Every structure is written in structure tokens, then in C-alpha cells.
Chains A and B, each alone.
Chain A
Amino acid sequence: NAGVTQTPKFQVLKTGQSMTLQCAQDMNHNSMYWYRQDPGMGLRLIYYSASEGTTDKGEVPNGYNVSRLNKREFSLRLESAAPSQTSVYFCASSEARDLGQPQHFGDGTRLSIL
């Protein structure tokens, strides 16, 4: 029972490089989310998707793009990485239309940008 799978787990980039973080869930959830976690700042919402075909900006969307490829997959793209984007990135999913359903999180991607 995989739950939410994020790839890669670790990545080092140089400033200006691009990369895509992958996220897939096997729980048939409608809602998916991308967060970044930095010390002292908790989890900040980057983008989210309430259903296949829809995406919305969160609290810190600048420098990122997302694609809800299908119901299972939600990718996060850094077009031109900057040192300020060094962080731990978490993908999460949840059943929509049920306020009390908690989110299920992936193990995170630790991203360093030099």
C-alpha cells in the first residue's frame, strides 16, 4: 500500500537549472497539494489541485509551476532554480468533499540549490 510517492528523495541543483518533482497517489483522492518546509516557517502551500484539470496558487507560488497530469499524479516544476528554493518539499493528497478527511503525505524531497 504505497500511499503518496515522491521522487526523487534528494536532489542537488545548480542555480538556473530546471527540474520536476514527481508525486503520485494510489488512494483515488481528488485533492493534491505541494508544500515547502523551511525551519521556523512550517509547511507553506505552493500550489494545490482540488480535482483533475484544476490547479490553484497557494501562499508561495512564485518560481514554481504545477501540472495535474491525471487524478493520480501532480508534478511541481522549478523552471530556473534559485538558492532561495532550497527546502524540503512535501506532496500530499486528501479525499475532497469531506472536511474531516486528513491529508496523506509523501516522504518529502530534500532539494539543495547551489
Chain B
Amino acid sequence: AQKITQTQPGMFVQEKEAVTLDCTYDTSDQSYGLFWYKQPSSGEMIFLIYQGSYDEQNATEGRYSLNFQKARKSANLVISASQLGDSAMYFCAMREGLASYDKVIFGPGTSLSVIP
């Protein structure tokens, strides 16, 4: 069965430092996609970055990068040069079954606090 694990319920990082948020997943599909979303205290879900299972390069979007290790089934989010506005919940998500059923599940999330 599909499963997403985020083992860090809460993380603290100093402003301007880099931080890594962990995500491991389990799937039997060969074709799948991995997403990271940010949820600030206001509650909206903000898409950050995407990695496809067949992508050979790690995805990057500005200060966000994804450390994708397919054999280990991990897709860790790296935020460089943390800012106070990065304080939020971060969710890892996996999409599969695109050809037929298109299912997306989420992990439990990591709460990130950026310290001035």
C-alpha cells in the first residue's frame, strides 16, 4: 500500500541557514510523482516543488531543492538560506496511478520554525 513517512514532527533552523526535511515513501508503481507543499498558519496549501520517478536530475526551484534517492525511496526537501517567512508546515505527497485512478496521498507533515 502507498505510504508517506515524515519522521520529523518539528524542526528549528536559524535564519539564513539551510535545512533538510525528510520524506520517505513506499509504492509498488514504477511511475509516480513526488511533491512538496507548504502550509503557513493562514491555512492555504502552496505547491513548492515536484520530482518525477523517471527524472534523473534532482529538482530545484529557487531556494528549494529536492534530494531524490530512488533506491532508498526518499525525497528530502532542502531549503537554503532560510527566511522567517519559511516558518510553516511542510507536507510531502506522492501521486500514482495516473493512467487509471490518479491517487495522491500526503505524509503527516513537518512543522518548521525559523529562528531570527
Residues of A within 8 A of B (CB): 30-31, 33, 35, 40-45, 48, 50, 56, 58-59, 88, 90, 92, 94, 96-100, 102-103, 105, 107-108
A97 to B31, CA, bound (A): 12
Query: Which of the 9-residue segments B12-20, B45-53, B62-70, B71-79 touches chain A?
Result: B45-53
Contact, CB under 8 Å: B104 / A100: no
Q: Give chain B nearest CB distance to A55 CB in angstroms.
A: 10
Cβ contacts under 8 Å, A94 to chain B: 102, 104
Cβ contacts under 8 Å, B98 to chain A: 96-99
In the complex, what residue of chain B is closest to A105 when comparing beta carbons? B45
Cβ contacts under 8 Å, B95 to chain A: 99
Contact, CB under 8 Å: B47 / A100: no
Tell whether B100 is near chain A: CB-to-CB under 8 Å.
yes
The 8 closest A-B pairs by CB, nearest first: A102-B47, A42-B108, A105-B45, A50-B102, A43-B106, A99-B33, A42-B109, A31-B102
Chain B 89-110 against A: per-residue CB contact (8 Å), 1 yes, 0 no? 0010101011011111111110
Give the contacts of B35-64 with A (CB-CB under 8 A).
35, 37, 43-45, 47, 50, 52
The contact sample of 29 A-B pairs, CB cut-off 8 A, is A30-B102, A33-B104, A35-B106, A41-B108, A42-B6, A42-B106, A42-B107, A43-B93, A43-B106, A44-B105, A44-B106, A45-B103, A45-B104, A45-B105, A50-B97, A56-B101, A58-B103, A58-B105, A59-B105, A92-B45, A94-B102, A94-B104, A96-B98, A99-B52, A100-B50, A102-B35, A102-B47, A105-B45, A108-B43
Q: Give chain A nearest CB distance to B72 CB in angstroms.
A: 21
Contact, CB under 8 Å: B52 / A48: no
Q: Give chain B nearest CB distance to A3 CB in angstroms.
A: 11
Cβ contacts under 8 Å, B97 to chain A: 50
Q: Give chain A nearest CB distance to B99 CB in angstroms.
A: 8
Contact, CB under 8 Å: B102 / A102: no
Cβ contacts under 8 Å, A50 to chain B: 97, 100-102
In the complex, what residue of chain A is closest to B92 when comparing beta carbons? A42
A108 to B42, CA, bound (A): 11
Cβ contacts under 8 Å, B33 to chain A: 99-100
